[in-house]
Structure 1
């Protein structure tokens, strides 16, 4: 995959009027009970876009009461045909893609409620509420702890579905590209994947003195570099499956680093509303500062800064595309999820060793393998403790494929039939009949 293979995106809409900033309950817009609002900033300019009503426990209570009423036996929603419910859900999805107009979808009051707010207040109120039957959560590990702590007194009243997308303190994601003419490479994701390259004994000996493979190898290495690059720099690295770590086999390490740095330097930074921009800002000042702190830790702990390594521009939360080489497993940048445009490139010698290093974590969200050898693809994908493993591709998804993580990278699955199971409960009904006919 290359940048030229990516589909053209429509031009972004500018100067949009902010229409809705209130809490949505029972098909009506409400001010927050407390009267509080919070600002929404444009991270590219640091300017305030608008102020949104800040929901808290009292607002959550109002939303839950409305939802309970909407889901009572005999209510319009409960008596509606399943096909009609499906039509409304599809209509809602279309409207959200278009302009987020909920009221136009035609849902009965109370079926859809939106309470914007913060985790310690609105989030904690949702997690601990006795009248909420199901909680689906996507967020940081810290947020997971808050949700679990709030849920413990009420389990199993409201099962918590912990989705992917946590901030991870240990590596667990990787990409493996196997069976280039000089070998293999791998990338798996825990929330920050890694790319490994491992040469077969025959080709390693044949190319031990070469820095730059050629022919098919050259094409496959470039493909691996491109996948690794897109895996980490996509959306400024703000992605639960961001490939921030890259493991490269020792004999081709220098060449792989060179190509990765060359690719990173091609990025164009700026306001994402401007056509031709590849990388926008980080989401907020807190994340911006965290990323810069981790970059500084990499410099201090001995990693080699190949490019980037600091802020970009005079305004906005922009960070230069950054690549580190000579990274070791004990460094913070190799252990903590950066969630930013920072790529770590590590060396390895044996495939068995690097698989152990990838699995030596409390997390396991996704992985990718690049190889022409089906046996190796099956062997490595079986060995990786990850909820999703891509072979010869990365960041691909469909509605039919369950998505979720192993270990602390999630509890439950989204999408596919397994995703539906998360929202159902099994019931057994036994009926005594007056006469057995067959």
Structure 2
């Protein structure tokens, strides 16, 4: 497709294509239809661009429909990255965008460079940050639960005005794409060059073809075709009230597409006699002269309290009449042309209407020069409330000034038009400011300033100024649709019968006995807590992993001290005692139960060992109801669980550490429903539950993790409110996720690293579970460490930062850090760990005849 070269500020040469931007390529319009673009400063022909026809609109919509099928499922992280990339590119080419807006739109180069372009960049970055935070809410309903999902709408359209084209286009693009929609944009037919440049950068940024299509065309043809198209599910329009009405009517008679309208305005600026004098004059002047007054939020009505009215009018006229008309590319120019001849003639006509209404012309009211569309700044004083120049949008540097006496009077006057887009109040009385802003019917009210625009602040109108909002979190509501999801939660017993909890869930119990505490009381308390607080778990398959210490040692975990002969004997018999305990609960006559044994190797062993492997034996009942896993060496929690996972045949797993027991009725049924509904979510398929890892959601917003967007994203998208049966009024937000200690089990390593899964999380003590060993530790340590969080967090792709609060306060270096430590140790010690320091064989013989704490009497009796 042909391209042209435009001369910008300081003689810069800017190449832009003249075609329609469809599927990341510039193509000609049907029938080679074109539009001639003029330079409003000179009225000379500037460029000829393709003019979209109905067939072209359909082609673009079908392209966006095809792209939507994959774009809607693109990860929020990917959408965020693309939006940020586009922001970077626009920032890089800021001078080119400012030049293009100047040559075909008459906008001052310095205004575009100082406001329109930076605002566009800020908006893209702002909504890039929202890409992973488009979430719903959860609520409780009788006999069940409910939550909402905010989902993209589909193929959307945007019809953009000519007065601030880049900025307003980005107001549409950023939230639409962040929410997962695709977008067809009709750029303004009088100043499309910025859009041609934008198409180039969208392709350069890496957006998939069809996600954004940009077409220049006449409103009556291209705009109407978008409004009528049955595949367009939402249309956002910024422009005149008349066209907005037409779009609304078209939606009503076609497919009832969602509509956002930001329409005309007749903004009041109210100046009280206690206002800061210079500040009020500054902002009221800027409010009607910036961008030649061609702003829907322009402060075109100025109400001044009668006590300062005469003086204010004189000073306002003096300041606002001053202007240097000329080429908007030049730095000395303070006022460019209006958009076209039609706008110029319209304002000249309103000058005559103002005179006929009896208002006093202060200055202006005439055309400047003969070459371009230049119009002098114009102001009328003593304007009556019903005068056309006080009631109707003129869209130019045209101010109407009138006096007022009281708050009540000026509020009534401010509200006395069909519009309600933007207003300004100037006063140093805080209470007065609150009263007036509350009384004004307007989508935006500024105090002691005028018309400020921020990416995080919603912008839109009321009354005939339209509805819906650009910018701010509220803009995401305009580009999403709400889906309500309701679950009927059956009682636990019925749930188990109907859905077969036993066929859905396997309980993995890891037990790591210590010589100083070899009793099976901990395991017994776990099983008893299942009976009391979650009977559905009793019917589930169970896998017990023995991950104990291999020798009696005075440095046993959590509790140091001498080991008695009785404790040593129970330590050796611990595995058999646990087996009997578990089998007795599942079989009436466990003496007849046959266990089938087989050997296997763990996924990996210790990096301190040359063979880097751990062998283990599985013993399983014939009905696969109970399985025992006995490693020949200690595995560690993460590896123990992974080994058990190889023996599971159910879709979901409950991981239970032997030092945790339920202390409240646990909502397993809604948890299973959520797991079933979310197991295919690519960001976080839910297949595992671990009580110590069930985290309270307040942790996700704590200062420890505020820097980690992935954690916030997963937490927000999966959180649900649960209530203990003992206290249904208590709402406890939980996330049914478990993140493994070393490697992922829901995806490949590459997927794991891409999604930035954290390593391990723990929940605040006492909500649903009780830490038996931790209680003893608390009493021994006599410090508040266990009243806080106990968690390991490691984020590979987020700066490899670490948050650690652990019982012993040791420093964890992360995966790479720990490997590095091992490498340093090996280098210093000449290779592998010396044989004398390796963990011994687990044979019982190794325990015999070894002194315990210096006592020859404390031996294992065989």
Q: Specify whether residues 103 and 147 from structure 1 end up closer, same or farther in structure 2 by C-alpha distance, changes over 3 A only.
A: same
For residues 331 and 398 of structure 2, what CA distance do their matches in structure 1 show? 23
Once the two structures are TM-superposed, the CA of residue 299 in structure 1 deviates from its matched residue by 2.0
Match of 2:477 in 1: 421
For residues 13 and 51 of structure 1, what CA distance do their matches in structure 2 show? 23
Any idea what SS the aligned residue of 1:420 has? helix
1:175 to 269, 293, 318: 269
TM-score of the two chains, using structure 2 as the length reference: 0.43
2:78 to 59, 78, 84: 84
Q: How does 1:315-330 map to 2 (within 5 A)?
A: 315-330=371-386
Tell me if 1:370 matches 2:397. no
Match of 1:160 in 2: 259
Instruction: Name stretches of at least 5 consecutive residues in structure 2 with no aligned partner.
Output: 1-7, 97-197, 489-494, 502-535, 537-665, 668-862
Any idea what SS the aligned residue of 1:419 has? helix
Tell me if 1:294 matches 2:393. no
1:277 to 333, 348, 357: 333
Match of 2:228 in 1: 128
For residues 93 and 21 of structure 1, what CA distance do their matches in structure 2 show? 23
Tell me if 1:387 matches 2:420. no
For residues 14 and 140 of structure 1, what CA distance do their matches in structure 2 show? 35
Q: Report which stretch shifted further, 108-117 or 12-21.
A: 12-21
Once the two structures are TM-superposed, the CA of residue 282 in structure 1 deviates from its matched residue by 0.2
Once the two structures are TM-superposed, the CA of residue 225 in structure 1 deviates from its matched residue by 1.4
Once the two structures are TM-superposed, the CA of residue 79 in structure 1 deviates from its matched residue by 4.0
Tell me if 1:108 matches 2:208. yes
Q: How does 1:28-39 map to 2 (within 5 A)?
A: 28-39=25-36
Any idea what SS the aligned residue of 2:49 has? strand
Q: Specify whether residues 115 and 138 from structure 1 end up closer, same or farther in structure 2 by C-alpha distance, changes over 3 A only.
A: same
1:50 to 27, 47, 50: 47
Once the two structures are TM-superposed, the CA of residue 336 in structure 1 deviates from its matched residue by 1.2
Tell me if 1:345 matches 2:401. yes
For residues 79 and 13 of structure 1, what CA distance do their matches in structure 2 show? 44
Q: Specify whether residues 373 and 252 from structure 1 end up closer, same or farther in structure 2 by C-alpha distance, changes over 3 A only.
A: closer
1:259-282 deviation line (CA, Å, top 9, x unaligned): 011102322111111111111000
Q: How does 1:108-257 map to 2 (within 5 A)?
A: 108-156=208-256, 158-163=257-262, 165-166=263-264, 171=266, 173-178=267-272, 180=274, 220-257=276-313
CA contact (8 A) 2:364 2:376 kept: yes
RMSD (Å), alpha carbons: 1.9
CA contact (8 A) 2:268 2:302 kept: yes
CA contact (8 A) 1:178 1:373 kept: no
Between Structure 1 and Structure 2, the one with more helix by share is: 2
For residues 369 and 325 of structure 1, what CA distance do their matches in structure 2 show? 19
1:394-426 deviation line (CA, Å, top 9, x unaligned): 222222211111112121111111111111111
For residues 237 and 139 of structure 1, what CA distance do their matches in structure 2 show? 15
Q: Which has the larger radius of gyration?
A: 2
Once the two structures are TM-superposed, the CA of residue 18 in structure 1 deviates from its matched residue by 4.2
Tell me if 1:310 matches 2:366. yes
Q: How does 1:11-26 map to 2 (within 5 A)?
A: 12-14=9-11, 16-26=13-23
For residues 251 and 429 of structure 1, what CA distance do their matches in structure 2 show? 60
Any idea what SS the aligned residue of 2:466 has? coil
1:200-238 deviation line (CA, Å, top 9, x unaligned): xxxxxxxxxxxxxxxxxxxx2222111110000010000
For residues 295 and 179 of structure 1, what CA distance do their matches in structure 2 show? 29
TM-score of the two chains, using structure 1 as the length reference: 0.83
Any idea what SS the aligned residue of 1:130 has? coil
Q: Report which stretch shifted further, 343-352 or 13-22.
A: 13-22
2:65 to 63, 68, 72: 68
For residues 409 and 142 of structure 1, what CA distance do their matches in structure 2 show? 11
CA contact (8 A) 2:391 2:417 kept: no
Q: Report which stretch shifted further, 408-417 or 276-285.
A: 408-417
Q: Report which stretch shifted further, 99-108 or 49-58.
A: 99-108
Once the two structures are TM-superposed, the CA of residue 178 in structure 1 deviates from its matched residue by 3.6
Once the two structures are TM-superposed, the CA of residue 335 in structure 1 deviates from its matched residue by 1.4
CA contact (8 A) 1:179 1:373 kept: no
Any idea what SS the aligned residue of 1:251 has? coil
CA contact (8 A) 2:30 2:56 kept: yes
For residues 17 and 418 of structure 1, what CA distance do their matches in structure 2 show? 36
Match of 1:335 in 2: 391
Once the two structures are TM-superposed, the CA of residue 428 in structure 1 deviates from its matched residue by 2.5
For residues 279 and 326 of structure 2, what CA distance do their matches in structure 1 show? 26
Once the two structures are TM-superposed, the CA of residue 363 in structure 1 deviates from its matched residue by 1.5
Q: Report which stretch shifted further, 291-300 or 15-24.
A: 15-24
Once the two structures are TM-superposed, the CA of residue 155 in structure 1 deviates from its matched residue by 4.5
Instruction: Name stretches of at least 5 consecutive residues in structure 1 with no aligned partner.
Output: 1-10, 185-219
CA contact (8 A) 1:403 1:414 kept: yes
For residues 144 and 105 of structure 1, what CA distance do their matches in structure 2 show? 32
Once the two structures are TM-superposed, the CA of residue 177 in structure 1 deviates from its matched residue by 3.3
Any idea what SS the aligned residue of 1:364 has? coil
Tell me if 1:401 matches 2:457. yes
Q: Tell me the matched-pair count.
A: 381
CA contact (8 A) 1:64 1:131 kept: yes
